[in-house]
Structure 1
Amino acid sequence: MSKVQLPVHKNETVTGTVLDLTYQGNGVVKVDHYPIFVPNTLPGEEVTVKVTKVTKNFAWGKLISIEKKSPDRIDDPNWAYLQTGIAPLGNLTYPAQLKFKQRQIQKLLEKAHLNLEVAETLGMDQPFGYRNKAQVPVRMVKGQPTTGFYKRGSHDLVPIEDFYIQDPAIDQTVLVVRDLLRKYQVPAYDEETHRGVIRTVMVRRGYYSHQVMVVLVTNGEHFPHVAEITREISERVPGIKSIVQNVNDKRTNVILGTKNHLLWGEPTIHDNLLGIDFTISPLSFYQVNPQQTERLYQTAIENAGLDGSQTVIDAYCGIGTISLAVAKHAKHVYGVEIVPAAIADAKQNAANNGIENATFVVGKAEEQFAKWQAEGLKPDVVIVDPPRKGLDAQLIEATGKMAPQKVIYVSCNPATLVRDLQRFAEQGYHVTKPIQPVDQFPQTTHVESVTVLERTEK
């Protein structure tokens, strides 16, 4: 069999016009319909590119020069942010980022032959410094512990002090910890040898409360100079409420281990979301952009059209963020989540806020839905906020059988959203309003959205 003749070869230089951006934020240049993905290029730009890798269906290229620049280009982006994936859209003006996210959903709908409208993306007034949580790797660079971020697709650390999308107070806290690790010569973890002490510095800071938690992830129980380091962090970090050692002695890319030792202060911090007080532990899942999370959930709750008489099910309820906000407007809320610790947090958060009309259950959402359906539970509204893989077909089927009037779909992945909308249509549910994108992660390619489905037949 003869080898397929590709239109480009490795190390070849080609010129062309960037036609589009992929969902990862790379520009697309085509040679005879064959795509070349080129980082740091934008639609409409005429570019010269060196081909770096060739496969049967596509190639990768490196930008050599821009002959015609996009009006949406930011001239001097911080290369470290683009290189590490901290801000892969850092070269694109913010209004253009919002359009890119709206278009991302629109294109997937068109591809699936779904004729649905997508509203303009709800953006932020200040699309930087928004993250309330940082997980920063520590590695030895030039003989000393250094904090930073990995280059995209690698484990090569790029030293970074200002992370741009993180709360600046968190960046300052990371530097305090890094300088103490240097002062006391605590060796950083080495992935190759599985030696060294400190693996990761995690910092959480309440957006409203300004309470700070520092979690020091160590490669085993041994932590030299832990008393001195703890004391100095407690003295030097404004708003510090909790310092925890998390032990992770496994050869893994998973950041946190399961064992925590409280070194100083409280085991948790608090923050507010939609007027509800949440308790946050080192292992709690809590949305990283509270301002936009409030807009996202407010949009979901408003579209549910609650007046206090409805029964609501919240699938993938986590620590109860949506459920507890909904409980104020509903007769009763049922939440399900597979992570036992999250359900324990949800119950605690309900108790702390005096919310008595919420029931939380540990289980796989699709299995619990089938159980509820068999028990004859009749929800008026179902809210789903699934992980990136979207909804299980069994859950959509069980929802169809329970026949709520409305389904509110909070999505973090447009591709699985589009697939699931087609499955809901088979159960008699159709989209009744423009899909509303919300920019939870400015400067990145991620897009969240709220879709309203109503039962129209069956």
Structure 2
Amino acid sequence: MAKSTGNTPVQKNEQLTIMIEDITHEGSGVGKVDGYPLFIPKTLPGEEAVIKVVKVNKNYGFGKLLELTKTSPERVDPTCHVYCGGCQLQHMSYALQLQMKQNQVHNVMKKIAHLEHVPVHPIIGMEDPSHYRNKIQIPVDEKNGELITGYYQKRSHRILQNQDTCYVHSHAMNEVLPFVRHLMNKHGVQAYDEKTHRGELRHIMIRTGHFTGEMMVVLVTRTAKLPGKERMIEELREKFPFIKSIVQNINDQRTNVILGKKTKVLWGASYIHDTIGDLTFAISPKSFYQVNPVQTKVLYDKALEYAAIDENDVVVDAYCGIGTISLFLAQKAKKVYGIEVVPEAIEDAKKNAERNGINNVTFTVGQAEKVMPTWKKEGLDPDVIVVDPPRKGCDQEFLDAMMAMKPKRIVYVSCNPSTLARDLRILEDGGYEAKEVQPVDMFPNTGHVEAVVLLDRIKRANND
């Protein structure tokens, strides 16, 4: 091993052999040199690796795997060798993936929430952890005069050329995507160039109804003009009869945001449909809808179990989106109030309620932390609050508003264990007790994990 000449035991570009002792929640192996941690992607605990040090910080560094001299029995041959950065766990067995995610949730409950006593149940995985995604958004570029599609290489804006078959995409999307690209090339559509702000096609989005088989194709363009669109529509319809909607979204801004404000239907319906349990939902280009429909049912069933509502209960569903959880709750509750800041989502939620014949739910546009204090003043005292926030978790103002309403139970659905643990600590200090945690694997082969937590209000002597 080369000797270090700096303040750290390793230097950039140094090659060394190292034992992998642990793994991060993102799936990188962790080895140590004189106590100094190095994070090495594509390695597993128990492996011996020859690595090159590519970055050195004061307290930790990063390495690149050159060769494995000892492999873990949990290593598997990746189905996809592209390694776009999306499926960063595909080199490890599914059993180890589940264990890693279980440990992640358990660790944040202990280290961030300081709730060592709260049981974290075994994670619920998938019987078949492949081809589960019902939505893709693929960037478009140009190479040698032709359109190419594929995901960006990790930490770059370089597209990995024509990545047509993806292990996590649905089979139907893997068939449709290359044909759409073929049509674009055939009809002379130019790829958008983000440097010059020229060209036409920016992204291709495909959404599917897992249980209905319906598909929507969304062409995201810089311009309203789209060469050959009439003929492209005919060819798409002829080859794939399950396509029910072809949509153009126009985004003329210099931005990394994928969808623009203007959307027009080129052919078919403005929605496709899918089902979760007994409920049917309409999905538009901008609808938030969980990307793994099989595990969504598992997640929502657990949330409904924890809510333990009956026909006398009033429920608030914060961050309700298009009403998916709200309508599940409404099947059991006396009344459900859903809040969502996106007006289009609330319109979709209302239509979904009507579509399913559910009339004991009210949807309101607004920020939950602003709406809930008003409801409190008006005398609304919910028995249960269900919250499913974005990755950043809940703002303090929202947590304060939720605790002020004093529901007997809170069900917290989270896609980020770290912010979940942070918020649970606040709720515990505010008079609620976390009773149990159920992790759910919504995104196999990635480092992401969801969890559902049940919290009960602590009964005090003054009945507060």
TM-score by shorter chain over 0.5? yes
Residues 396-411 of structure 1 mapped to structure 2, 5 A cutoff: 396-411=399-414
Please report how far the alpha carbon of residue 77 of structure 1 lies from its aligned counterpart in structure 2 after TM superposition: 4.7
Residues 370 and 395, structure 1, Cα contact 8 Å, conserved in 2: no
Please report how far the alpha carbon of residue 8 of structure 1 lies from its aligned counterpart in structure 2 after TM superposition: 1.2
- Please name the residue that 2:47 is paired with: 45
The residue identity in structure 2 corresponding to 1:17 is M
Structure 2 residue 290 is the aligned partner of structure 1 residue 287? yes
Bigger mean CA offset, 123-132 vs 361-370: 361-370
TM-score for both structures, normalised by structure 1? 0.96
- Please name the residue that 1:58 is paired with: 60
Q: Which runs of 4+ in 1 moved over 6 A?
A: none
Among residues 136, 139, 142, which one is paired with 1:137 in the alignment?
A: 139
- In structure 2, how many angstroms separate the alpha carbons of the residues matched to 1:127 and 1:325? 25
RMSD of aligned Cα (Å): 1.4
- Please name the residue that 1:70 is paired with: 72
Please report how far the alpha carbon of residue 76 of structure 1 lies from its aligned counterpart in structure 2 after TM superposition: 4.3
The residue identity in structure 1 corresponding to 2:374 is K
Residues 71-110 of structure 1 mapped to structure 2, 5 A cutoff: 71-80=73-82, 83-110=83-110
Among residues 447, 450, 454, which one is paired with 1:448 in the alignment?
A: 450
Structure 2 residue 257 is the aligned partner of structure 1 residue 254? yes
- In structure 1, how many angstroms separate the alpha carbons of the residues matched to 2:150 and 2:256? 16
Bigger mean CA offset, 182-191 vs 210-219: 182-191
- In structure 2, how many angstroms separate the alpha carbons of the residues matched to 1:118 and 1:143? 54
Please report how far the alpha carbon of residue 58 of structure 1 lies from its aligned counterpart in structure 2 after TM superposition: 2.0
The residue identity in structure 1 corresponding to 2:47 is E
The residue identity in structure 2 corresponding to 1:33 is G
Among residues 275, 283, 290, which one is paired with 1:272 in the alignment?
A: 275
- Please name the residue that 2:37 is paired with: 35
- In structure 1, how many angstroms separate the alpha carbons of the residues matched to 2:361 and 2:78? 50
- Please name the residue that 1:438 is paired with: 440
- Please name the residue that 2:206 is paired with: 203
Residues 123 and 439, structure 1, Cα contact 8 Å, conserved in 2: yes
Residues 176 and 237, structure 1, Cα contact 8 Å, conserved in 2: no
- Please name the residue that 2:115 is paired with: 114
- In structure 1, how many angstroms separate the alpha carbons of the residues matched to 2:306 and 2:22? 33
- Please name the residue that 1:244 is paired with: 247
Please report how far the alpha carbon of residue 4 of structure 1 lies from its aligned counterpart in structure 2 after TM superposition: 7.1
Structure 2 residue 424 is the aligned partner of structure 1 residue 418? no
TM-score for both structures, normalised by structure 2? 0.95
Please report how far the alpha carbon of residue 398 of structure 1 lies from its aligned counterpart in structure 2 after TM superposition: 2.0
Residues 86 and 163, structure 1, Cα contact 8 Å, conserved in 2: no
- Please name the residue that 2:7 is paired with: 5
- In structure 1, how many angstroms separate the alpha carbons of the residues matched to 2:375 and 2:295? 32
* CA deviation map 1:120-172 (0-9, x unaligned): 11011110101111111111123211111110110111121101101010111
Structure 2 residue 127 is the aligned partner of structure 1 residue 157? no
Residues 21 and 45, structure 2, Cα contact 8 Å, conserved in 1: yes
The residue identity in structure 1 corresponding to 2:57 is T
Among residues 147, 150, 158, which one is paired with 2:149 in the alignment?
A: 147
Q: How many residues align?
A: 453
Residues 177-256 of structure 1 mapped to structure 2, 5 A cutoff: 177-256=180-259
The residue identity in structure 2 corresponding to 1:28 is V
Residues 429 and 457, structure 1, Cα contact 8 Å, conserved in 2: no
- In structure 1, how many angstroms separate the alpha carbons of the residues matched to 2:79 and 2:372? 47
- In structure 1, how many angstroms separate the alpha carbons of the residues matched to 2:59 and 2:107? 20
